[in-house]
């Protein structure tokens, strides 16, 4: 093995500093995450700072965005104008921001629903579409839309399949109305409502929301680390 320059690294050197195995480093080069290494006359790979920082960038991005998007971003650093790289990073941050917004919605909904008592109710307390719409101050068509979207699905009374809202369903409708009035979107509400209405203990729901909050924080920190590493990649690229 030839003597290396101070800035040159072997595969094992990059692997140790980036926290990967030797084979993983070779795979990253194969996948275009690392630019092609130079080769000695004997065929040994020689890596530089750009390879190390590319590997570090991918490692952080894989935590922040997932491995597929991480490869896409680091490849773009080597192949595309800087403006395109920045656009990809902006999109990654925007996705996390939307997740934070949806999480805030989930927390609000969980607290609101858990605070809504439904004990000591009678079957006669159920309401039809027009009655519930009037109680909420919305149009009957709004309730039908929520039904179609799976937000609040009432019982159907034969023989005509008339909608009838039980006290629990009316409670869900109040929660949906409250959150929709606050500007919350249909999609996250659709994903949230089934889990909250079917027997989950509120302590478990809150624990799951806290875990999601922690996951978002980890990925946000990873994107911050990735940005610093990508800056180093761009700086190294200008020197090659």
β-bridge mates for residue 133, sequence order: none
pTM metric for this prediction: 0.68
How many Å from the N-terminal Cα to the C-terminal Cα in the chain? 23
Is 119's pLDDT higher than 70?
no
Which run of H or E residues covers position 77?
A: helix 67-79
Query: In whole angstroms, what is the distance from residue 165 CA to residue 152 CA?
Result: 9
The model's confidence at residue 132, banded by pLDDT at 50, 70 and 90, is very high
SS3 content of the chain, % helix, strand, coil (to 5): 70, 5, 25
Distance CA 184, CA 110 (A): 14
* pLDDT score recorded for residue 204: 65
- The tokens for 81 are 């104008």
Query: Percentage of the chain surpassing pLDDT 70?
Result: 86
Share of the chain above pLDDT 90, in %: 55
How much is the pLDDT for 146?
95
- Note the pLDDT of residue 117: 63
Q: Are 77 and 230 in contact (CB under 8 A)?
A: yes
**5's tokens:** 């320059």
pLDDT score at 1: 40
Tens digit of pLDDT for each residue in 35-83?
999 999 998 999 999 999 999 999 999 999 999 999 999 999 999 999 9
Tell me, rounded to whole angstroms, the distance of Cα 70 from its chain centroid: 14
Beta bridge partners of 38: 46
CA–CA–CA angle 219, 220, 224 (5° rounding): 115
Q: What's the order of all strands across the beta sheet hosting 127-128?
A: 127-128, 162-165, 155-157
The rounded mean pLDDT for the chain is: 85
């Amino acid at each position: 093995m030839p003597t290396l320059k101070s800035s040159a690294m072997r595969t094992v050197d990059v692997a140790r500093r980036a926290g990967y195995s030797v084979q993983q480093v070779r795979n990253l080069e194969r996948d275009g995450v690392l630019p092609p290494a130079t080769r000695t006359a004997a065929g040994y790979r020689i890596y530089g700072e750009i390879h190390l920082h590319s590997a570090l960038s991918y490692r952080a991005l894989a935590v922040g965005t997932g491995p597929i998007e991480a490869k896409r971003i680091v490849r773009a650093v080597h192949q595309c104008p800087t403006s395109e790289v920045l656009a990809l990073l902006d999109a990654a941050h925007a996705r996390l921001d939307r997740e934070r917004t949806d999480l805030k919605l989930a927390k609000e909904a969980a607290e609101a629903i858990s605070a809504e008592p439904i004990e000591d109710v009678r079957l006669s307390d159920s309401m039809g579409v027009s009655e519930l719409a009037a109680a909420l101050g919305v149009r009957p068509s709004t309730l039908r839309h929520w039904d179609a979207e799976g937000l609040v699905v009432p019982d159907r009374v034969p023989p005509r399949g008339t909608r009838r809202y039980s006290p629990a369903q009316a409670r869900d409708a109040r929660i949906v109305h409250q959150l929709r009035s606050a500007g919350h979107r249909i999609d996250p509400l659709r994903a949230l409502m089934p889990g909250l209405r079917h027997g989950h203990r509120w302590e478990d729901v809150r624990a799951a929301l806290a875990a999601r909050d922690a996951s978002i924080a980890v990925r946000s920190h990873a994107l911050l680390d990735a940005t610093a590493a990508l800056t180093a990649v761009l700086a190294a690229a200008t020197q090659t």
